[in-house]
Amino acid sequence: MSNKHTPHSRSSRYEKKRRGTKWLTWLVGAGSFFLVLLVVLIVFGGEDQSGKAQNTEEQEKEEAALQEKQIEQTEDKEKNTDEPTEEESDKQKVSIEEFDELKPIEDEEGLKIEKSDDPNVERVITKDWPVIQTEMETNGEHSITYQSGSQDYKELQEAIRSAVGLPEDNIIYWDVSNRGHPQKAKATVSDKNKTGYLRVHVDWIDGQGYKPVKLEVLKNYNG
């Protein structure tokens, strides 16, 4: 067998070698491309996942904040519903224990506290209040004068204050009127903070002056 190489065989080998080199170059290039693609996918895919995770976390935070806000709004609404308005607070329900100005009379001897059949009266308080001695001269036919500033009216107001234990500078007279008799009066009062409303019954004692005879703790004052 001849070991001679013909031009054709050399050309064939060269062509094969060239093709092999071309394929190798292509594979290297393709491998590099896929490697770069893989890196890109890993990097940007990771960032995308991180972004998604971050977005999810932010969304969860926003949802939690929204839920918290809704809860606060609900609580505020319930609170506002439970709390009386300014107008309602002026007519709030009050008990003798909540009316600080009445504390001094709670421990007085002879003090009697009862319930009432009147749906607007929470407590009825009676005791032997002292008479507010009058400075006026009377002839046994005294009729109460409801004229502000008059001596008669000042003494009536003094008797009212003595029953509720409120000083002159911390009392509001919401109503002072006749009790169906010229010598019997009633007055609805409160402190200036409108802690509660009290109704005082006062009688005129001939030859002596005004005497409180009953004190009612009102649930509401309707004017």
Q: Strand pairing partners for 11?
A: none
Exposure on the CB side of residue 173, measured as CA atoms within 13 A: 20
- Choice between 56 and 126, residue whose per-residue pLDDT is larger: 126
Choose which CATH entry (3.40.1000, 1.10.3210, 3.30.450, 1.25.40) describes domain 96-218.
3.40.1000
Residue 183: pLDDT band with limits 50, 70, 90:
very high
Query: Do residues 176 and 156 make contact, with C-beta atoms less than 8 angstroms apart?
Result: yes
Coil vs helix vs strand at 95: coil
Provide the pLDDT for residue 25. 57
Domain chopping of the chain, boundaries: 1-83, 96-218
Model pTM above 0.75 = no
Q: Is the pLDDT of residue 179 over 70?
A: yes
**Percentage of the chain exceeding pLDDT 90:** 39
Residue 168: pLDDT band with limits 50, 70, 90:
very high
Q: Is the pLDDT of residue 109 over 90?
A: no
Query: Do residues 123 and 96 make contact, with C-beta atoms less than 8 angstroms apart?
Result: yes
Residue 191: pLDDT band with limits 50, 70, 90:
very high
Q: What angle do CA 54, 60, 66 make, to 5 degrees?
A: 135
Provide the pLDDT for residue 86. 47
Residue 17: pLDDT band with limits 50, 70, 90:
low
Which of 61-70, 101-110, 172-181 is the most confident on average? 172-181
The values of phi and psi at residue 146, to 5°, are -100, 30
What is the C-alpha separation between 23 and 7, in angstroms, rounded? 24
Coil vs helix vs strand at 165: coil
Give 99-152 as a DSSP string.
-GGGHHHHT-TT-EEE--SSTTEEEEEE--PPPEE--S---S-------TTSHH
| Average pLDDT of span 1-22 | 54
**Token pair listed for 85:** 């308005």
Q: In 40-158, at which residue ranges do the beta strands (DSSP E only) sit?
A: 112-114, 121-126, 132-133
Provide the pLDDT for residue 90. 40
Alpha-carbon dihedral of residues 75, 79, 82, 84, nearest 10 degrees? -160
Q: Is the pLDDT of residue 42 over 70?
A: no
The predicted-structure confidence for 130-156, as pLDDT tens digits, reads as follows 999 999 987 778 899 999 999 999 999
- Choice between 221 and 75, residue whose per-residue pLDDT is larger: 221
Average pLDDT in the chain: 75
The predicted-structure confidence for 46-104, as pLDDT tens digits, reads as follows 545 555 556 677 777 777 778 777 777 766 655 555 554 544 444 344 444 555 555 55
